[in-house]
Amino acid sequence: MATILNIETATEVCSVILARNGEILAEKESSDGLNHSQLLTVFIDEIFRENNFNPAQLDAVAVSKGPGSYTGLRIGVSVAKGLCYSLGIPLIGIGTLDALGKHAAVHSKKYVPDSIDAANVLFCPMIDARRMEVYTALFDTRGENIELVSAKIIEENSFSEYLNQHPVLFFGNGAEKCKSALTHANALFLGPVKASARFMIKLAEKKYNNNDFEDVAYFEPFYLKNFIATVAKNKII
């Protein structure tokens, strides 16, 4: 029976869950924007204090590893690695799109309308990148990957090979902007809109039981694309 701290900071959501044996013990979450540097350590401290929990009781820390916000991922992974270093416990990395996609597939009854053949549905989580680009992947009803994580610029014919044969659920914080392009009758914009540490719990528990851990010293977030720094147009000297 493992006690795992789950951290999700890959998007605008800052989410922390303390779970034991795959069940939630405590939770803190905010979706007010990319202020993770202010919230994350506060949330963790509050969870420990409010539940009289000693961090030494942790068996592992799980962190959403991306893709997603460069800054958000850096913050989440840095805090997770710091905890693992100081406590001498394993680090578990969970793909952000894996958590979203597998959750939606496992809980398909919650998201798929009764009028749709649930056995034929595919699940497509999307994380907002820029303009009409998203980070995405594709999952079947068992939660298995049928198209691996990639960055896609969404246009009219995107996913047509799947949409011609299956209803496809598009969801996540990048899905809304794709509605105008993905007008196929089988394109359904349903499912969880935001990422959450809730979606990581079962995956983290499974990885812990399989001893599937990251190297704390060398682990880096999965950015998918290189970070490009921008310079403000109006410099103040």
The pLDDT tens digits for 173-223 are 999 999 999 999 999 999 899 999 999 999 999 999 999 999 999 999 999
- pLDDT over 90, % of the chain: 90
Residues 6+ apart with CB under 8 A from 92: 4, 60, 61, 62, 63, 204, 207, 208, 212, 213, 214
- DSSP reduced 3-state for 208: helix
If we measure between CA atoms, which residue out of 70, 75, 64, 133 comes closest to residue 101? 64
Q: What is the mean pLDDT of residues 93-108?
A: 97
Model confidence at 86, pLDDT cuts 50, 70, 90, reads: very high
Q: What is the pLDDT of residue 226?
A: 57
Q: What is the CATH number of domain 3-96+195-209?
A: 3.30.420.40
Domain positions in the chain are 3-96+195-209, 97-188
Lateral strand order in the sheet of 133-139: 145-153, 133-139, 122-128, 168-171, 187-188
Residue with tokens 């049928």: 146
Tokens of 161: 């090979």
pLDDT given at position 227:
45
3-state secondary structure at position 170: strand
Phi, psi of 165 (to 5 degrees): -120, -20
9-41 pLDDT, tens per residue? 999 999 999 999 999 999 999 998 889 999 999
Amino acid at 21: N
